[in-house]
Structure 1
Amino acid sequence: MSGNALELIDPQRKSLVFKVYAFEDDAYFSSLKKYNYFSVILVTKGKGMVTADLSQYPFDGACLICFSLYQPFKIKSEGVFQGVMVNFHPDFFCLHKHRNEVSCNGVLFNNIYDSPVTALAKDETELLLSTINGLKLELQSTGIAQTEVLISYLKILLINGSRIKLFQQQTEDASITKTPVILDTLKNAIEEHFSSLHSAGEYADLLNISTAALNRVCKTHFNKTLSHLISDRIIIEAKRQLYLTDKPVKQIAYELGFNDEFYFSRFFKNHVAISPQFFRDTIGFNQANA
């Protein structure tokens, strides 16, 4: 560990599996980050802009910002920027394996339709901060069953973060400004057909709407183009298959609608900045039930 960072290293792999890092400015986040672990960033003070993938999201005040495996992001603040970041490798805590205990995958992580930023009230900030302080104290101790205690605190952090975000989503859904029905139909269509329909035009035809009109409503409500949404959904499934199964890359490519393994590899590298094989090599392999 060094400076404001507390780290846990896997003694066998000699690699980082868990980290808590306190920050006082945006220097660490001003360049593009791509981690082979999940990131949970609790901002206690700050205002600025988050860039995630190809989209930008503003924040103003305390908030929770979450990023998935190898999701490119950077943060630029306007003045004061303070908080703490928690990183965990899937070998330390597998979201897929623990999905019934911690329903955060699709809420805090791998949610292609919502902002990665969740605004926090004072009591919510204090709740999450107290849990992170528990993580920090445990990392500084040398007690028995340290990993089990850290995982318990991490579960609490993820559960409470998910509860806060879900409550906000439910409140927004009940407000006057509702999401157009066409977008709920689109989300269902993407979930059903992402492995066979890859172009914006195909979804526009399916929904009987022009591609331009569908793109406009996507940009307005999701801050992404339709093509971006489709690509993100394919990448999420590709990552899941690479981590949870031992299927050859060629088979994964075929199941995701790519007839050419090399085209799939280029597609993956274009969006994740690394090859499918490198992703599998650095994330590890966990044969949890998919």
Structure 2
Amino acid sequence: MSTQSVFTLVNPHTGNLAFKIFSFEDNRHFDHLQRHNYYSLIWVKEGSGKLKSDFSEYDFSGNTLFAFSLYQPFMLCTENISGVAIQFHPDFFCIHKHHSEVACNGVLFNNIYQPPFTLIDETSSLAFEMLYEQMQSEMQNPALAQNELLVSYLKIFLIKASRLKNEQTANYKTTLSELKEPFILQNLKDSIESNFKVKHSPSDYAEDLNISAKALAKITKTYFNKTLTDLIAERIVIEAKRELYLTNKTVKEIAFELGYDDEYYFSRFFKNNADVSPQLFRETVGFGRSMN
């Protein structure tokens, strides 16, 4: 096997990173704040530490798979970790367009209600290892229809990871059902999903659920490790990113659909939460183009 550990495909039309895989033996790749215009899957095989992502912090240990979406901020605080990473631009494979095939959007990626990682068991570890080796082999010896084959391996990887995450979420829900507030939590999620385009304030949701704002804030922070304001903002930004990528609507149109009459206020809100303007997001992430 080659000693090379980094393999990269570049989109010849845009110059953007299209697909990249690499192995790592330390934390130098992830020891500073990351915000990328592509998706990142980071499989920490060995080591432990702390993940800082969005507005939260999480402890992690070995055999953990992290999944980060477009411009999602993250940093791994640790010394000794090793593993592999897979990164891909939406032009190479768009999880929105292929949602019916891989169903990873809202499970692995853009899941504001669960931590952005999945625990890898021994059986899954063997399957992921094999898929990674197949990707590496294809990157080392490119041949006819290389992109199509890499996308196929990537799809299988995403499907297996999404299934595993769903199993762990189901177990989490079972644990949650033993707590005092499961109905409030589920009702809050349902309410955010139904109303985030029109209700932007935590007090709107407290009123909707017939609970005091203070009590709801405490429950939200306890079980989601985020404030309600953060949850609502994340949900709005995820929808805005989706519209910016999949449609040719103007920023003003997207802002209006998300309940903002002032395009400039919305652009500031988006930049504060995504660390990039709506215009720059569209320029760097793409515009519904797809290589596959």
> Which segment drifts farther, 125-134 or 249-258?
125-134
Partner of residue 143, structure 2 = 143
> Is residue 165 of structure 1 aligned with residue 165 of structure 2?
yes
Q: What is the deviation of 1:246?
A: 0.4
Partner of residue 128, structure 1 = 128
> Which segment drifts farther, 118-127 or 28-37?
118-127
CA contact (8 A) 1:59 1:119 kept: no
Q: Identity of paired residues, percent? A: 48
Partner of residue 76, structure 1 = 77
String of CA shifts for 1:154-210, please: whole Å, max 9, x gaps. 000000000111111122323464562101000010011101000101111111111
Partner of residue 36, structure 2 = 35
Partner of residue 230, structure 1 = 232
String of CA shifts for 1:80-117, please: whole Å, max 9, x gaps. 20001100000000111111100100000000000012
Q: What is the deviation of 1:63?
A: 0.7
What does residue range 8-19 of structure 1 map to in structure 2 within 5 Å? Answer: 8-19=9-20
The normalised TM-score by structure 2 is: 0.95
CA contact (8 A) 2:91 2:289 kept: no
CA contact (8 A) 1:57 1:117 kept: no
Q: What is the deviation of 1:4?
A: 2.6
SS in 2 for 1:100: helix
SS in 2 for 1:274: coil
Q: What is the deviation of 1:215?
A: 0.8
Partner of residue 219, structure 1 = 221
String of CA shifts for 1:234-276, please: whole Å, max 9, x gaps. 0000000000100010010011011110000000000111100
Partner of residue 262, structure 2 = 260
Gapped regions of structure 2 (runs ≥ 5): none
Partner of residue 188, structure 2 = 186
Q: Supply the distance in 2 between the matched residues of 1:49 and 1:117 (Cα, whole angstroms).
A: 12
Partner of residue 90, structure 1 = 90
CA contact (8 A) 2:40 2:85 kept: yes
Q: Supply the distance in 1 between the matched residues of 2:262 and 2:237 (Cα, whole angstroms).
A: 16
The normalised TM-score by structure 1 is: 0.95
State the number of aligned residues. 286
CA contact (8 A) 1:108 1:162 kept: yes
Partner of residue 64, structure 1 = 65
Partner of residue 284, structure 1 = 286
The alignment's C-alpha RMSD in Å is 1.5
Partner of residue 45, structure 2 = 44
Q: Supply the distance in 1 between the matched residues of 2:72 and 2:289 (Cα, whole angstroms).
A: 22
Gapped regions of structure 1 (runs ≥ 5): none
CA contact (8 A) 1:21 1:86 kept: yes
